[in-house]
Amino acid sequence: MTARILKGAEFRDPIYAELRAELDVLRAAGITPGLAAVLVGENPASQIYVRNKIAACEQLGIFSAQLSPPTSITTDELVATVENLNRRDDIDGILVQLPLPPQVDAKRVLESVAPEKDVDGFHPISLGRLVTGRPGLVACTPAGCMEILRRSGVRAEGANAVVMGRSDIVGKPMALLLMHANATVTICHSKTRALQEVVRRADIVVAAMGRPWMVAPEWIHPGATVIDVGTNQITDAAEAERLFANHPERLEAFRKKGSALVGDVHPGAAEVAGAITPVPGGVGLLTIAMLMSNTVKAARLRRGRAAGIAHPAGAVRS
């Protein structure tokens, strides 16, 4: 068996087409959605993430603004920056790129984002709405995973789903979304006993542990759908030698580049699974797509109602 490879672009492109249609309606009413990205310091990975998000805005015609405070910023100063964005009517969505410097209280900063502009879905009010099954802005990566399942025809209802990881950003909201889709959900983490046996019983596996290639092929039930959320940057030569010992082409690529991006799921799982997302080129593209979707949705909810604009039929279910 060779799994169907669920490439992110396969799902992102129709989502963008739906968003362009909705953006046309908003612009006809004089509304251009706006996204503000707050990037503290000069973390190279964070710079790449924000650059990709800004590029997506440009591709769709969403207004974007990037703020780049110095690494030395205090919690109070960063909260004041966010509160200023809360007051701007041309900004519908605010994202604060993580991680933040150690002297900054990240939770306090994230909670200072107005819930109606919380396009990352991290605010306690956003999470509370998700828990109670009420409409709101949902964390982008779990929402993207659900779009992959829905658009690829994978039925969540009645399925046994295992979510590996319990973070507020991925694991917990992912489990809630699957429960709302009527799956039977098990959340696993570093303390789970007999982890391999638990995972092997799953019809749907969402791997978000942040451990390179920890999910071996024998962990996967034949025919299961595997959503690999892992984005592990390998820069250590010894780790690369260990991971890629049986993958000479990947080891050679690592030696040329000095780094490699791998998921939580070993690529050999594609010989067992029924469907699997690749890393890179899988869930990451949907994370950005859902950020764009949340920004458009926030603009519609904040400013579109006054213009008589309703949610379009068949649009992204964010």
Residue 118: active-site member = no
Q: How far apart are CA 311 and CA 122, in angstroms?
A: 23
- Record the pTM: 0.93
Q: Spot the catalytic one: 92, 97, 117, 228.
A: 97
Residues 6 or more apart whose Cβ sits within 8 Å of residue 97: 37, 38, 39, 40, 46, 49, 50
Q: What is the CB-side half-sphere exposure of residue 196 using CA atoms within 13 A?
A: 6
Which member of 92, 117, 118, 120 is catalytic? 120
Residue 120 falls in the annotated catalytic set = yes
Q: Which of 30, 52, 5 is nearest to 291 (CA)?
A: 52
Kindly provide the residue ranges of all beta strands, DSSP E only, lying in the chain, ordered along the sequence. 4-5, 34-38, 63-67, 93-96, 160-164, 184-188, 204-207, 225-228, 232-234, 260-262, 275-276
Contact present, 126 and 118 (Cβ < 8 Å): yes
Q: Encode 106-118: b = buried (16+ Cβ within 10 Å), e = exposed.
A: beebbbbbbbbbb
The dotted CATH code for 140-284 is 3.40.50.720
If we measure between CA atoms, which residue out of 310, 292, 309 comes closest to residue 30? Answer: 309
| 256 catalytic residue (yes or no) | no
- Among all chains, which residue has been given the structure tokens 């800004």? 54
**The pLDDT of residue 318:** 46
CA distance linking residue 306 with residue 100, whole number of Å: 36
Note down pLDDT in tens along the chain; length 318 residues: 689 999 999 999 999 999 999 999 999 999 999 999 999 988 888 899 999 999 999 999 999 999 999 999 999 999 999 999 999 999 999 999 999 999 999 999 999 999 999 999 999 999 999 999 999 999 999 999 999 999 999 999 999 999 999 999 999 999 999 999 999 999 999 999 999 999 999 999 999 999 999 999 999 999 999 999 999 999 999 999 999 999 999 999 999 999 999 999 999 999 999 999 999 999 999 999 999 999 999 999 998 776 666 665 445 554
Which residues does 249 contact at the CB level (< 8 Å), separation at least 6? Answer: none
Task: Calculate ∠ Cα 23-24-28, nearest 5°.
Answer: 115
What is the distance, to the nearest Å, from the Cα of residue 239 to the centroid of all Cα atoms in its chain?
Answer: 26
Q: Do the domains 30-127+286-303 and 140-284 sit in the same CATH topology, yes or no? A: yes
Residues near 24 by Cβ (< 8 Å), separated by ≥ 6? none
Retrieve residue 58's tokens. Answer: 């440009």
The dihedral formed by the CA atoms of 219, 222, 225 and 230, expressed in degrees to the nearest 10: 30
Domain boundaries, the chain: 30-127+286-303, 140-284
CA dihedral 140, 142, 145, 147 (to 10 degrees): -60
Homologous superfamily of 30-127+286-303: Leucine Dehydrogenase, chain A, domain 1 (3.40.50.10860)
CA dist list (Å): 29 to 19, 22, 173: 15, 11, 33
**Of 53, 117, 172, 297, catalytic:** 53
The rounded distance, in Å, linking the Cα atoms of 279 and 79 is 34
